[in-house]
Amino acid sequence: MSMTYVLQVESFTASPDTRLEQNDCGGLAVTAPPEGGSLLWCPDGSNSQVWSEYAYLTGDIYHECHDVLVLVFSFIESGGRRIDVHYGMLPHVKTRVCIPLKVLEGESLFLPRYPGVLQSVLRGDSSVDRSRISRVSISTPPSVSLRSFKLSGLELRMREPDFCYEYQPYLDELGQLAEKEWVGKTGSHEEMKLRLEQEEAAMQASPLLDDIGRYGGWKGAAFASTGYFRTVFDGSSWWFVDPDGYGLFSTGMDCVGPFDTMKVAGMEHLLPPLPDRIGPVRDAWTPQGFSYSVANLIRVYGDSWRERWEALTEGRLKVWGTNTIANWSDSSFIRSSSLPYVYPMEGFPETKETIFRDFPDVFSPEYEENAKSFASGLLPFQDEPRLVGYFMRNEPHWAFVDSLNLTELLLAHPSPLHSKLQFVRWLEEKYETIIHLNEAWGSSFHRFEELAESNAHAEPESGVRKADYDAFDRVLIRRYVEVPARACKAVDPHHLNLGMRYAWVSSDAILEGCEAFDVFSINCYRFEPDRELIERIGKRLNRPVMIGEFHFGAADSGLPAYGIKAVATQEERGQAYRYYIERAAAIPELIGAHYFQLSDQPALGRFDGENYQIGAVDVCQRPYEPFIEQMKLAHGRIYAIRTGSEPPYEEAPAEIPKTGF
């Protein structure tokens, strides 16, 4: 077998309205309509096994679209199972794509970030059998305009390719796109300094609301004081109650910190010369990369940059009406601030062997022991009145698969996991004899232990068997939640357990055990909160719900990607924020919504390659004023909406296709 296998361009066919031409370099020139388009490669019998014989799919992409190009590589089995790999690529630079085919086993949500690429994310089923791949497609999601790109050198390889790129600086010295102009682009550090001085002076004259208590609660809703944050249902709506007894609807800002660290490794060919690591701008360097926002603050404020940024940001959040420092925020800023905050715990309990992705062997004694160690991270916060509560974790990777059956994967696991043995005991308790089990399942086991000894019977073949798998899924998920939640309450009985910030609720089974939370948290990227889902969760768990993340990006500013939900202009972005947060305040079961995030992401991508225009401020600390004005307006109306004296804002902006990966 040769070291490479070339995917011949004549093997591809295009979807309707997608134009496909062979270019001079032997590759393909592709033009897809705004609705999206795709190329399809269907192997014949002689090459249908190549996907299991090679280790990598590689190819070169070049495009001149107005923003980031997202390509989706889909690997589809003959039975319909599929895995999609989403890749983001910058305009006007050649990018070499490299997909390790091992990822089709489904154990990773994010792929390795190779040089030149932005984020690469895996979606779809839990796994794909490479020997059964019948089709491979390369598609573009919808966009605001045509998508044209060149694809060349597409081949299967045994080893990773070289990444040899031409040097072409993409950014200016302030970390902005060098070749793009927009309203609000900063011309120099001197301009940035003057503008910040003017903002600081104006902020001193801005009055703060006198109906807000010292912990952010609204004095118009008074409850019993306990000295800590708690939740209460007043007969019509849920509330956070602050330590002084005032009701609070939490409006938070995620990632409140000075660093917008850009990953440098692999992007060197796109960067102008960076400051020395031991010079005056040394604080801008971190183990993860380089922060242009910190470098800009140092250029403006000198050695006092951090203290000046903290004072500036504290003032901004209060003037904007934000009442909570939300997830992943800077610990130094939290200590210096007077605002309430939430805490993201670290080190969620793991086990050496997992059932799928990050789902542990939850019946292992190791899981219980690690849960106790995990909970000890709350010890420093036991007596902290400003702490609203803690998140146990964020967006479990196993829960990204809608069709996931954990028990099926458990039985297919080659190791004798403790959870597998527990399933056998669970079946013995339910059916009592192997004869009864075989009658129900239509199986022919000789003893219960066979299910733990072999993976040959993993896939359910009867309705009853599938129902048992689904039922034990709930047992697994309940234990996954309850063990660490119980350990956390034992260490810190005063503060609220705010849950796990699920990316979405893929099935009702996700809610198993979540009564152990004080608040159920979900990240909700929509143009308005999912009221039906929030009401269902609230009634099912008898718990309030909060939103840990939402955001909007706009296409009229200085970044080539607009995030998961997007609009055309900054004015519409402000309108989108107001529409979302005011409708959130009108949902009785919902007690807060936190915006992701304070600052734009770096133009060449953070650690995982996200580079979204989603911040309240840009890399030069310039607030997006049309966005901020609508945020202030919404925050000033929240309690009138919450108590029903005013209706929420009704004008939803027009959505444009996202560039979220």
**Three-state DSSP state, 496:** strand
Q: Kindly give, in sequence order, each residue whose CB lies less than 8 Å from that of residue 251, ignoring residues fewer than 6 positions away.
A: 321, 322, 323, 324, 581, 592, 593, 594, 595, 635, 638
**Three-state DSSP state, 202:** helix
The model's pLDDT over 364-406, given as tens digits with 9 standing for 90+, comes to 999 999 999 999 999 999 999 999 999 999 999 999 998 899 9
Contact indicator for 483, 349 with CB cutoff of 8 Å = yes
Q: In this predicted structure, what is the pLDDT of residue 23?
A: 77
Q: In this predicted structure, what is the pLDDT of residue 623?
A: 98
* 203 vs 355: CA distance, rounded Å: 53
Report residue 154 as tokens: 């597409």
Q: In this predicted structure, what is the pLDDT of residue 2?
A: 75
* Mean pLDDT of the region 582-603: 98
pLDDT band, very low/low/confident/very high, at 1 (cuts 50, 70, 90)? low
* Mean pLDDT of the region 640-651: 97
The model's pLDDT over 87-137, given as tens digits with 9 standing for 90+, comes to 999 999 999 999 999 999 999 999 989 999 999 999 999 999 999 999 999
Residue 346 clears pLDDT 80, i.e. is over it: yes
Report residue 271 as tokens: 């960067």
Q: In this predicted structure, what is the pLDDT of residue 27?
A: 87
* Mean pLDDT of the region 619-637: 98
Q: In this predicted structure, what is the pLDDT of residue 10?
A: 79
The model's pLDDT over 292-330, given as tens digits with 9 standing for 90+, comes to 999 999 999 999 999 999 999 999 999 999 999 999 999
Q: In this predicted structure, what is the pLDDT of residue 355?
A: 97
* 645 vs 557: CA distance, rounded Å: 37
The model's pLDDT over 36-58, given as tens digits with 9 standing for 90+, comes to 999 998 866 556 688 999 999 99
Q: Measured in Å, how far apart are the chain's first and last C-alpha atoms? A: 35
* Mean pLDDT of the region 156-185: 96
Residue 24 clears pLDDT 80, i.e. is over it: no
Calculate what percentage of the chain has a pLDDT beyond 70: 98
The alpha carbon of residue 65 and the mean position of all alpha carbons in its chain are separated, in whole angstroms, by: 25
**Three-state DSSP state, 150:** strand
pLDDT, mean over the chain: 95
Residue 352 clears pLDDT 70, i.e. is over it: yes
Report residue 112 as tokens: 């390795």
Report residue 224 as tokens: 């019993």
Q: In this predicted structure, what is the pLDDT of residue 44?
A: 64
Contact indicator for 312, 196 with CB cutoff of 8 Å = yes
Contact indicator for 284, 610 with CB cutoff of 8 Å = no
Q: Kindly give, in sequence order, each residue whose CB lies less than 8 Å from that of residue 209, ignoring residues fewer than 6 positions away.
A: 321, 636
Q: In this predicted structure, what is the pLDDT of residue 97?
A: 96
Q: In this predicted structure, what is the pLDDT of residue 205?
A: 79
Q: In this predicted structure, what is the pLDDT of residue 79?
A: 87
Contact indicator for 249, 212 with CB cutoff of 8 Å = no
Residue 515 clears pLDDT 80, i.e. is over it: yes
Q: Which domains, ranges and CATH numbers included, belong to the chain?
A: 4-157 (2.60.120.430), 196-347+498-642 (3.20.20.80)
Q: Which stretches within 186-270 are classed as H helix?
A: 189-204
Residue 456 clears pLDDT 60, i.e. is over it: no
Q: In this predicted structure, what is the pLDDT of residue 46?
A: 52
Calculate what percentage of the chain has a pLDDT beyond 90: 90
Counts for the chain of helices (H) and strands (E), in that order: 14, 30
Q: Could you tell me which residues are beta bridge partners of residue 118?
A: none
Q: Could you tell me which residues are beta bridge partners of residue 342?
A: 389
Q: In this predicted structure, what is the pLDDT of residue 214?
A: 95
Residue 459 clears pLDDT 80, i.e. is over it: no
Residue 13 clears pLDDT 70, i.e. is over it: yes
The model's pLDDT over 266-287, given as tens digits with 9 standing for 90+, comes to 999 999 999 999 999 999 999 9
> SS3 letters for 438-480?
HHHHCCCCCCCCHHHHCCCCCCCCCHHHHHHHHHHHHHHHHHH
pLDDT band, very low/low/confident/very high, at 419 (cuts 50, 70, 90)? very high
Contact indicator for 399, 502 with CB cutoff of 8 Å = yes
